[in-house]
Amino acid sequence: MLSLPLLLLLLWGVVSHGFPTVTSETQEQDVEMVQNYLEKYYYLKSDGKPVVRQRNNSLVSEKLKQMQAFFGLKVTGKVDTDTLNLMKQPRCGVPDVAQYVLTDGSQWDHTHLTYRIENYTPDLPRAEVDSAIEKAFQLWSNVSPLTFTKVFEGQADIMISFVWGDHRDNSPFDGPNGNLAHAFQPGPNLGGDIHFDEDETWTNNFRNYNLYRVAAHELGHSLGLSHSTDIGALMYPNYMYSGNVQLSQDDINGIQAIYGPSQNPVQPTGPQTPQVCDRKLTFDAITTIRGEVMFLKDRFYMRVNPFYPEVELNFISVFWPNLPNGLQAAYEVSERDEVRFFKGDKYWVVQGQDVLYGYPKDIHRSFGFPRTVKSIDAAVSDENTGKTYFFVANKYWRYDEYKQSMDAGYPQMIAADFPGIGHKVDAVFQKDGFFYFFHGKRQY
């Protein structure tokens, strides 16, 4: 039986990353972008000089190491590919600090706060803007003693506006993408205010930038929170939309450290972000995809690529925006370049990052399962035989991918035909001719 960290090590490869080979023009743009990024988010002092190009600049190296450590990258102090790619992601305009850092004055001295929307974006109807902002406030009031009241005139604790470019707060916006919005810590004047970049396209779905998602993040700053290193936290600096805006346990811990617990009789809890090296980590599903291995857990995937030394952790919706969270089983049919994902009695088929038209479909009609089967626990397709194994409770079915029908004589008992792995399978995948079975914390 393998431990999870050992299994991941067996799947890893090691490769060095260097600055990308690009044209001198593009490279110059990247160098300028790196310097601007470090100046804005990590307080690099350059006095207007192009310090990133200077050889052996210890200050630049230290700032790069600080940034790489914050985002969980390999700490090299150099501008490698992963660092550059992360810097190019859209994000909040507030500098990065730590998970949640409490500083003097970083909280309101009263818990009944007011807010006012000074103007509206033309991207959405006014009612939808109002709804997005109201829901963002509700997220935080649900887990704290804070209450929020909308006012329509005069000065409010939190003033909300849509602006662009240099809007006279010493934090100019940079046009489409990049810096999406920013907010100020609690206090007088600009304190608590939220500014959205009007050069962005604001939406109420997964396209472009979801206003509710960004507003909820910025409001965390307005209440006194800094950025989190937890990729699953709402207060993570880079924009990610998982389809379900919610506070993680890290967010809840942060806001309650400032203002205390909610007044609700039952204290709310939030989802935890999986820790890759946690020996107690369990998985909902595992599949191969084009030579890589993907481990699925709640709303996250962990991807193991033989050409990268780190396990990638991200939201499922980042890779597949049209797939739901909480997928229960998955398997690859490599001959068709397809991966099939299962949740409940529905399944989706993807090629690369595209969900094929017409999905989800019903597992009973497509595969011939009896109506008593409500969901699939695990699935794997044997690339050598074209046989797919579906595990449900203590039984399994065998499906012929060539004939597109269930084999006769099934279901059979798991324990009888797969001795040594127990009576139930939570996840399974095939790699290099071997099957890897998972049940709870155990891997076989």
Is 175 annotated as belonging to a binding site? yes
Residue type, 295: F
Is 379 annotated as belonging to a binding site? yes
Is 284 annotated as belonging to a binding site? yes
Is 428 annotated as belonging to a binding site? yes
The answer to whether 190 touches 154, Cβ cutoff 8 Å, is no
Q: Which residues of 120-131 are buried (b: 16+ CB within 10 A; e: fewer)?
A: bbebbeeebbee
The answer to whether 121 touches 164, Cβ cutoff 8 Å, is no
Query: Which residues, including other chains, have CB under 8 Å from residue 9's CB and lie 6 or more apart?
Result: none
Cα-Cα-Cα-Cα torsion 315, 320, 325, 329, nearest 10 degrees, comes to: -110
218 part of the active site: yes
The dihedral built from the CA positions of residue 84, 89, 93 and 97, taken in this order, carries a sign that is negative
Is 294 annotated as belonging to a binding site? no
Is 227 annotated as belonging to a binding site? yes
Query: Which residues, including other chains, have CB under 8 Å from residue 203's CB and lie 6 or more apart?
Result: 123, 124, 209, 210, 211
Residue type, 156: A
3-state SS, residue 112: strand
Is 132 annotated as belonging to a binding site? no
Is 123 annotated as belonging to a binding site? yes
Phi-psi region of 19 (alpha: psi -120 to 50; beta: other; left: phi over 0): beta
Is 174 annotated as belonging to a binding site? yes
Is 260 annotated as belonging to a binding site? no
**Can you list the pairs that 386-395 forms with residues at least 24 positions away whose Cβ atoms lie under 8 Å?**
386/335, 388/331, 388/333, 389/428, 390/329, 391/329, 391/424, 391/425, 391/428, 393/424, 394/423, 394/424
Is 182 annotated as belonging to a binding site? yes
- To which H or E segment does residue 406 belong? strand 405-406
Residue that has been written with the tokens 């998972």 in this structure: 438
Residue that has been written with the tokens 């595969």 in this structure: 367
Is 298 annotated as belonging to a binding site? no
Nearest to 243 by CA among 322, 361, 144: 322
Is 292 annotated as belonging to a binding site? no
Is 423 annotated as belonging to a binding site? no
Is 215 annotated as belonging to a binding site? no
Query: Which residues, including other chains, have CB under 8 Å from residue 265's CB and lie 6 or more apart?
Result: none
Is 414 annotated as belonging to a binding site? no
Residue type, 336: R
User: Measured between alpha carbons, how far is residue 85 from residues 77, 123, 153, 195, 431 in Å?
Assistant: 15, 28, 43, 26, 29
Residue that has been written with the tokens 């409940």 in this structure: 344
Question: Which of the residues 25, 118, 134, 218 is marked catalytic?
Answer: 218
Helix axes 58-70, 24-42, angle to 10 degrees: 70
Rounded distance between C-alpha atoms, residue 229 and residue 268, angstroms: 22
Is 17 annotated as belonging to a binding site? no
Is 87 annotated as belonging to a binding site? no
Residue positions forming the annotated binding site for Zn(2+): 92, 167, 169, 182, 195, 217, 221, 227, 235
Binding-site annotation: residue ranges: 92, 123, 157, 167, 169, 174-175, 182, 189, 191, 193, 195, 197, 200, 217, 221, 227, 235, 284, 286, 330, 379, 426, 428
Annotated binding residues for Ca(2+), as ranges? 123, 157, 174-175, 189, 191, 193, 197, 200, 284, 286, 330, 379, 426, 428
Q: Which residues are catalytic?
A: 218
